[in-house]
Amino acid sequence: MPVPAVPTISLFSGCGGSDNALQRAGYDIVWANDVWDVAAEIYEANIQDANIEVGDIADFDVFPDAELLVGCYPCQSYSQAGSRDWNSNTNFLYRQFDRVLRKVRPKAFVVENVNGMAFGDNYHLLWNQIYRYRLAGYKVKWAVLNAKDFGVAQNRRRIFLVGIRSDVDFEYEFPEATHGLGTGRPYVTQHDVIGNMPSWPEGEFNDEPFHWYYLSRRRRHPWGQPSPCIVGNWRHVPLHPLSPPLRRIDTDHWEFTREGRARRFSYRECAALQGFAGKFRWGAGTVRDRFQAIGNAVPPPLFSAVLRPLRSIWN
C-alpha cells in the first residue's frame, strides 16, 4: 500500500536504485543530487518527473522542505575491494549529509553503505556518523542486511542507518527477512532472474582475459543460488553460471575445473540481479559506465524493505 506523497530529498542518488524504490512506494522526490553526469542521465530516463541536479553537494546551500532524507554516499575506502586511501574525501562525505540533515530537519533519514564500514579499521568512521546524527537530534539505529534475504538474487551485504527525529513519537525496527531459512520462501536464484536471457550477449560484457587477481576469489555461483555480489568495476563482475565451475587450489587461487567458454555477467544481467525491473533503461554512457552505475546502486527491493517499517510515521 503506497504511503502519502511524502516530500523526499535524495543525495548521492546515482542511477536511481533507492529512488526507484521510493517512487514505487509513493514518495515524492522533490530534489536529488549526484556528482556524475552519466548516472544522472540514467536517473532522468527512469525516475518520473526527475528533479536531479548534477554537481558536488558541497556547492549547494538551499534545499526544499522534506520529511525524509536519503543518501548512499560513495564507499570506495570502506569496501573490501576498495582503494584503502584513508585520506580520501569519499570517506567523509557523511559530513555533507549531516550538513543537509541539519538544514532540512526531516522527520526521518535513511543511509546505505557497504558493510565493510562496520568492521576493522572502518568502525570508527561508522561511529563518527552515528554520533553526528545523534547530535543533530536523531534517534539512530543501524544494521547489516543481506539483499538475498529480501528477494534479490544476489549475496550482497550492506549497512543501513535509519534516524528518527527525537521529537517524533516513533520507534523504527529493521525488517525481518522475507526469503531464506525459516521464512517459508526460498532465495531467489540466478536462474529465476536471468535464466531466459541471451547466453552470449556480445558487446554487453567485458571479454578481457581472467587475470590472476580475478581468479583469487570464488567468482562463480551455480544457477540454483543467488549470485556473488555485483560490483561497479566491470573487470571484477562475477562469472555467469554457464561458465565452467571453479575449484579452490590454495589461498586466493581458484581455477576452472574443465575447458569451456566462460564469461562475466553482462550489464543487463547485473541490473536484473540487482533487482532492477526489465523496463529500466540503460542508454547513457559507455558499457563500462553502465557497469559502474549498476554495481554502485542500491538494489531497489532491498531499499523497499528498509522503507516499509517507516509507513506508519507519515500518518
Q: What domain range includes position 27? A: 7-181+298-314
Q: For 208-226, how does the pLDDT look when each residue is reduced to its tens digit (9 = 90+)?
A: 999 999 999 999 999 999 9
Q: What is the mean pLDDT of residues 65-92?
A: 71
Residue 271 lies in a domain: no
Q: What is the pLDDT of residue 31?
A: 98
Amino acid sitting at position 68:
L
The pLDDT value recorded for residue 75 is: 62
75 part of the active site:
yes
Report the greatest alpha carbon distance in the chain. Answer: 63
* Domain of residue 22, CATH code: 3.40.50.150
| Domain-located, residue 222 | no
Residue 41 lies in a domain: yes
- The total of other beta-carbon atoms located within 10 Å of residue 17's CB is 27
Q: Is residue 214 part of a domain?
A: no
User: In the structure grid, which three cell numbers stand for residue 127, read together?
Assistant: 561511529
Going by pLDDT thresholds of 50, 70 and 90, the confidence category of residue 176 is very high
pLDDT value of position 88: 56
The pLDDT of residue 291 is 98
Percent of the chain scored above 90 by pLDDT?
A: 89
User: Which of 72, 75, 229, 270 is the catalytic position?
Assistant: 75
Note whether residue 121 is domain-resident: yes
Residues 153 and 227 sit within 8 Å (Cβ to Cβ): yes
What average pLDDT score do residues 248-259 get? 96
* pLDDT on residue 90: 67
Each residue's pLDDT tens digit, 1-38: 677 799 999 999 999 999 999 999 999 999 999 999 99
Q: Is residue 146 assigned to a domain?
A: yes
User: What pLDDT, on a 0 to 100 scale, did the predictor assign at position 77?
Assistant: 55
Q: Is the pLDDT of residue 254 over 90?
A: yes
Q: What pLDDT, on the 0 to 100 scale, is given for residue 123?
A: 84
- Counting the structural domains of the chain, the total is 1
Q: What average pLDDT does the segment 62-70 reach? A: 98
The cell for 235 is 573487470
- Please give the Cα distance from 145 to 115 (Å, whole number): 8
- Where helices occur in the chain by DSSP H, the ranges are 17-24, 37-46, 94-104, 123-135, 190-194, 267-273, 287-295, 300-307
The pLDDT assigned to 310 comes to 97
Q: Is 49 exposed, middle or buried (0-12, 13-18, 19+ CB in 10 A)?
A: exposed
Integer angstrom CA distances of residue 33 from 123, 294, 307: 27, 17, 20
Residue 225 falls inside a structural domain: no
**pLDDT confidence of residue 116:** 85
The confidence score (pLDDT) of residue 1 equals: 65
Average per-residue pLDDT in the chain?
94
